[in-house]
Amino acid sequence: MYRTIKDFAENWDRESQATIIVFNNLTDDSLSQKVTEEGRSLGIIAWHTTQTLSELTEHAKIPIDSTADKEEIPDNIADIVSIYERDSKAVGEIVKASWADEQLDDEIEMYGQKMKKGFVLAVLIAHQTHHRGQITVLMRQAGLRVPGIYGPAKEDWKELGMPAVA
């Protein structure tokens, strides 16, 4: 849970950039990659991550100006990245403009539950981090390079001249 808007904003900027890095390692052909036939594809997960920015802020009563939740899934990663970049920037701006540190303990109703605003901000971060993890698994299956976000990825260790962690 966040106690200051500044802490959230700094973390949001880092995490949004991490999501953009991961998305930029996807290819148009990889968007159909699934773990199982009935599972979500890379494209669906990336699009869901993008759409949720407007959905969550709408439920938190600080809606961003986005149409992503009403649009069909783009068939190319460039469009997903573009919309994600626009909407993630808008999320950071709307939170800073709408909420203050002293309001972060205030409760709001979201999805039938009462949540503190500071917790809602943590959910925004955790949600996209969760889906980035799913995306990186599918990226490996699709033969794509997984970028190191919180430390070196398998390929990074080799390039650093060190053995990959088993």
Q: Which pLDDT score is estimated for 160?
A: 87
Residue 49 is which amino acid?
T
* pTM as predicted: 0.92
Distance from CA of residue 64 to its chain's centroid? 16
Please state, in angstroms and rounded to a whole number, the distance separating the CA atoms of residues 115 and 117: 6
pLDDT in tens, 50-106: 999 999 999 999 999 998 888 899 999 999 999 999 999 999 999 999 999 999 999
Name the nearest CA neighbour of 53 among 139, 120, 146.
Answer: 120
Name the nearest CA neighbour of 25 among 149, 165, 160, 147.
Answer: 147
